[in-house]
């Protein structure tokens, strides 16, 4: 199953685990604002051509937080992609780099769409599909040989998902958007994939796995508790008194010192004294 894969085993901080949920909630809130604010909100946040008074500099990013008001599936489909891809990428990227990837893909998607819009009748783009295609690209490059289950039924390699997405975006851009003026912004999808590739190439590969240590840290409740040094005292002592034969030998050596001086001791007698001294220190 997908959640059995290493990249889905996420044990990071609460902030990391909730980042994807925060992005989804923000998109849902913006959708509600769009429904109540109508055309005024749309023109302010969506990326539009000059016919609709655009583009605003901020709309190259904010367009991704608006979705179709005609069908909720536009929002739901994109948020499902953000949820699964976000959970897969966050353990490896960390929070800051994940947000950077999301914004870079969004920005490149908006820029490419705006360039292509001069050759098409389209005058507005909105939705987070460009960001999702950027996440797919980075995911496919990072986990190219990993098996995934698409829609929990079709098994494929991550790189196959990447190639399929690239084919759909390129084919749609040429044969639908450019030649037929189709309303779907395939250029934004392809721009998002370019952003995902640039992020992987120039940001991730410079320091791969820097977010991994935090994400894969064992939860505290799973770790064995460290053993504390014992402070227990015992009501008895171990008898380490020297044996009686050693006492007799020491007494003999001491008598020799009194009568002949320390210099008269042999090396073996000096070792006996040292041994006796060590035993007395341990008492």
The whole-angstrom separation of Cα 231 and Cα 115 is 74
Task: At 271, list the tokens.
Answer: 């070792």
Q: What is the pLDDT of residue 243?
A: 56
The domain over range 2-220 is classified in CATH as 1.20.1540.10: yes
Q: What is the per-residue pLDDT across 59-86, written as a single tens digit (0 to 9) for each? A: 999 999 999 999 999 999 999 999 999 9
Q: What is the per-residue pLDDT across 255-274, written as a single tens digit (0 to 9) for each? A: 777 776 666 778 888 888 77
Contact assessment for residue 94 and residue 16, using Cβ atoms and an 8 Å cutoff:
yes
Q: Which residues contact 228 (CB under 8 A, 6 or more apart)?
A: none
The 3-state DSSP class for residue 47 equals strand
Task: At 48, list the tokens.
Answer: 């539009």
pTM assigned to the model: 0.70
Contact assessment for residue 19 and residue 86, using Cβ atoms and an 8 Å cutoff:
yes
Helix (H) or strand (E) holding 142, with range, is helix 129-142
- Give Dmax over CA atoms of the chain in angstroms: 121
pLDDT along the chain (283 residues), means of 10: 45 70 97 93 95 94 96 96 94 95 98 96 96 98 90 85 97 94 91 98 87 39 48 49 68 77 76 75 58
For the chain, what are the domain ranges? 2-220, 244-281
């Amino acid at each position: 199953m997908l959640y059995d894969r290493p990249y889905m085993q996420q044990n990071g901080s609460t902030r990391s685990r909730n980042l994807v949920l925060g992005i989804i909630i923000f998109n849902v809130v913006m959708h509600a604002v769009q429904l109540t604010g109508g055309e005024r909100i749309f023109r302010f946040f969506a990326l539009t051509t000059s016919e609709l008074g655009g583009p605003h500099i901020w709309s190259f990013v904010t367009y991704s937080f608006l979705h179709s008001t005609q069908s909720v599936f536009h929002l739901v489909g994109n948020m499902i992609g953000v949820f699964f891809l976000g959970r897969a990428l966050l353990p490896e990227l960390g929070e800051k780099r994940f947000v950077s990837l999301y914004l870079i893909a969004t920005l490149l998607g908006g820029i490419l769409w705006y360039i292509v819009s001069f050759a098409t009748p389209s005058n507005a783009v909105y939705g987070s599909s460009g960001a999702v295609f950027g996440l797919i690209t980075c995911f496919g490059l990072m986990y190219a040989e990993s098996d995934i289950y698409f829609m929990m039924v079709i098994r494929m390699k991550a790189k196959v998902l990447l190639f399929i997405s690239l084919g759909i975006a390129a084919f749609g851009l040429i044969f639908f958007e450019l030649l037929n003026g189709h309303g779907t912004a395939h250029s934004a999808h392809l721009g998002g994939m370019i952003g995902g590739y640039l992020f992987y190439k120039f940001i991730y590969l410079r320091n791969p796995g820097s977010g991994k240590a935090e994400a894969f840290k064992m939860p505290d409740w799973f770790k064995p508790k460290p053993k504390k040094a014992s402070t227990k005292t015992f009501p008895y002592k171990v008898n380490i008194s020297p044996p009686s034969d050693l006492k007799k030998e020491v007494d003999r050596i001491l008598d020799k010192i009194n009568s002949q001086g320390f210099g008269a001791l042999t090396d073996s007698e000096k070792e006996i004294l040292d041994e006796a001294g060590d035993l007395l220190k341990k008492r």
